């Protein structure tokens, strides 16, 4: 399966396959064949009819182009699908044709098909998220002592460690993945309600038939049909939005670290990836670009889905019809963002030496906060702040280090001895609880890497 050119920056090959015409059609047909098997097991329809229906319920037997045209006229894929399947069954077993779609409605077909597609997508998400979280845990452990500039409002700030930064990404992604996993499990459920959600067509066999049908399809059976109650799907769509936002934050950070004048980290290089049609020297942030594009698209799609939740009575007008393309787009965009960041993290080159160079290039002004903390108990916070504000202005104007300027200020030397000023610009001495927070993030989110496991075994 190849990705359509217009979607080539919006999905992955596996997800494009899941949401391909053939896959969507087969998911609907899987509902029809499972329904027939479940009903035959309970004696609702003859076993011979179920066998004939299952044999005919193959995507290759249905003309996709004709189905798409008929769907536009019918307002639902279920009606033309059932008609086409019935005709296919009739070719081989005329008597069985009358039992196609027995007791179901068109929305049962479409909604359950989406649940089946979501279940397949969930497995892809889980594998890529596992790759990503393990890679981030490994980076965090490897760079727990790699010190770099903190950056607030895009400006130099007191130091942090790259290990803490990576753990921050990992923590947010793990929390988002946990919520997404829960919402996937809640959303990938059977929809089987018949005309108005009572299954009156099968008399009092509705609950039993629902349980058997759900088991046939490998889906959870909800407490009741959910025709116009779209909260489960909405929760999953919102979880995709949150996770994609966290992935986008990671992508934004990496792309900024890749800037030529920063050059502290970069995406892994490979043939044909990240180049320029006119500038051979460039290594563009491709994975970050794809992830950021997804993070920009998904919020609008989330809003569209939430707007479509307001559906009328037992069958909606327009809201339900809006959902299919929204769901397909959100799932594929989220999956692309996960896969892109997993690829970036697994081979992320990090340059601690460059981090140190950039840190030293600001002449120690980022340690003004530290100097203020040392002087405030002696001079008062306001006085210390004003003194350091003037000192940092001198540093920037004269191109000198903060410690050197402070050595010339009597109010400072009266309270800070030579040793204190010599250590003022040592970044490792001003990391606070960075390492404790890094460990807490990884441990609380149960994120591990091979290095962490080895470290635990050594103990």
Q: Based on the fold, state whether residues 279 and 343 are members of the same structural domain.
A: yes
Q: What is the mean pLDDT of residues 301-328?
A: 96
CA gyration radius for the chain? 30
- As given in the structure block, the two tokens for residue 203 are 């008399």
- Residue 218 near residue 190, CB atoms below 8 Å: no
Determine the Cα–Cα distance for residues 91 and 61; give it in Å rounded to an integer: 11
Does the residue 447 lie in any domain? no
Tally of domains in the chain: 3
Percent of the chain with pLDDT over 70: 93
The structure's pTM equals: 0.93
164-203 tens-digit pLDDT? 999 999 999 999 999 999 999 999 999 999 999 999 999 9
Domain of residue 313 covers 118-189+226-359
Does the residue 452 lie in any domain? no
User: What phi, psi does 189 have (nearest 5°)?
Assistant: -125, 160
Percent of the chain with pLDDT over 90: 92
Residue 399 pLDDT grade (very low, low, confident, very high; cuts 50, 70, 90): very high
What confidence score (pLDDT) does residue 269 get?
78
Determine the Cα–Cα distance for residues 173 and 206; give it in Å rounded to an integer: 41
Q: Based on the fold, state whether residues 325 and 398 are members of the same structural domain.
A: no
Element (H, E) at 54: helix 47-56
- Tokens 């889905």 sit on residue: 305
Q: Based on the fold, state whether residues 7 and 77 are members of the same structural domain.
A: yes
- Residue 56 near residue 234, CB atoms below 8 Å: no
Q: What is the mean pLDDT of residues 59-85?
A: 97
3-state DSSP assignment of residue 22: helix
- Residue 12 near residue 332, CB atoms below 8 Å: yes
Residue 444 pLDDT grade (very low, low, confident, very high; cuts 50, 70, 90): confident
- Residue 366 near residue 391, CB atoms below 8 Å: no
- As given in the structure block, the two tokens for residue 35 are 């329904």
Q: What is the mean pLDDT of residues 54-62?
A: 98
331-352 tens-digit pLDDT? 999 999 999 999 999 999 999 9
Q: Based on the fold, state whether residues 259 and 173 are members of the same structural domain.
A: yes
Is residue 1 pLDDT above 80, yes or no? no
Q: Based on the fold, state whether residues 90 and 45 are members of the same structural domain.
A: yes
What confidence score (pLDDT) does residue 450 get?
47
84-131 tens-digit pLDDT? 999 999 999 999 999 999 999 999 999 999 999 999 999 999 999 999
Task: Give CA angle at 28 (26, 29), nearest 5°.
Answer: 60
DSSP code of 202?
Answer: G
Residue 401 pLDDT grade (very low, low, confident, very high; cuts 50, 70, 90): very high
Is residue 453 pLDDT above 50, yes or no? no
Q: Based on the fold, state whether residues 267 and 351 are members of the same structural domain.
A: yes
Is residue 306 pLDDT above 90, yes or no? yes
Q: Based on the fold, state whether residues 411 and 317 are members of the same structural domain.
A: no
Q: Which residues are known to be catalytic? A: 276, 315
Is residue 272 pLDDT above 70, yes or no? no
Q: How far is CA 446 from CA 3, 137, 164, 281, 450, in A?
A: 35, 10, 15, 40, 13
What confidence score (pLDDT) does residue 59 get?
97
Does the residue 385 lie in any domain? yes
Count of CB atoms within 10 A of residue 289's CB? 16
Q: What is the CATH number of the domain that holds 418?
A: 1.10.40.30
Determine the Cα–Cα distance for residues 104 and 112; give it in Å rounded to an integer: 11
Count of CB atoms within 10 A of residue 260's CB? 8
């Amino acid at each position: 399966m190849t990705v359509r050119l217009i979607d080539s920056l919006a999905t992955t090959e596996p997800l494009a396959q899941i949401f391909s015409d053939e896959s969507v059609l087969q998911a609907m047909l899987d509902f029809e064949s499972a329904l027939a098997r479940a009903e035959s097991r309970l004696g609702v329809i003859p076993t011979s009819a179920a066998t004939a229906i299952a044999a005919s319920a193959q995507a290759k037997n249905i003309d996709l182009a004709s189905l798409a045209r008929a769907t536009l006229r019918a307002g639902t894929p279920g009606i033309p699908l059932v008609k086409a399947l019935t005709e296919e069954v009739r070719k081989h077993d005329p008597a069985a044709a009358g039992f196609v779609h027995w007791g179901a409605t068109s929305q049962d077909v479409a909604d359950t098909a989406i649940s089946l597609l979501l279940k397949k997508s969930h497995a892809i998400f889980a594998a890529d998220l596992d790759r990503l979280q393990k890679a981030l845990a490994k980076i965090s452990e490897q760079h727990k002592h790699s010190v770099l500039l903190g950056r607030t409002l895009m400006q130099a700030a007191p130091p942090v460690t790259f290990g803490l930064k990576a753990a921050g990404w990992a923590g947010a992604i793990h929390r988002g993945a946990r919520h997404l996993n829960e919402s996937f499990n809640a959303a990938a459920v059977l929809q089987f309600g018949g005309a108005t959600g009572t299954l009156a067509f099968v008399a009092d066999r509705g609950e039993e038939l629902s349980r058997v049908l759900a088991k046939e399809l490998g889906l959870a059976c909800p407490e009741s049909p959910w025709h116009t109650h779209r909260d489960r799907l909405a929760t999953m769509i919102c979880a995709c939005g949150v996770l994609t936002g966290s992935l986008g934050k990671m992508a934004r950070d990496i792309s900024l670290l890749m800037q030529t004048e920063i050059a502290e980290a970069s995406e892994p290089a490979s043939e044909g990836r990240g180049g320029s049609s006119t500038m051979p020297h460039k290594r563009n942030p491709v994975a970050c670009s794809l992830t950021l594009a997804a993070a920009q698209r998904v919020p609008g799609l989330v809003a569209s889905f939430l707007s479509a939740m307001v559906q009328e009575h037992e069958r909606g007008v327009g809201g339900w019809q809006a959902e299919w393309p929204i769901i397909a787009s959100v799932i594929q965009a989220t999956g692309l963002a996960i896969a892109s960041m997993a690829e970036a993290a697994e081979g992320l080159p990090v340059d601690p030496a460059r981090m140190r160079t950039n840190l030293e290039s600001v002449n120690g002004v980022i340690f003004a906060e530290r100097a203020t903390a040392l002087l405030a108990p002696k001079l008062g916070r306001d006085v210390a702040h004003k003194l350091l504000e003037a000192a940092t202005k001198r540093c920037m104007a004269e191109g000198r280090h903060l410690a050197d300027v402070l050595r010339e200020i009597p109010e400072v030397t009266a309270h800070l001895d030579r040793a204190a000023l010599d250590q003022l610009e040592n970044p490792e001495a001003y990391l606070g609880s960075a390492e404790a927070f890094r460990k807490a993030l990884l441990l609380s989110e149960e994120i591990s890497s091979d290095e962490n496991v080895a470290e635990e075994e050594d103990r």
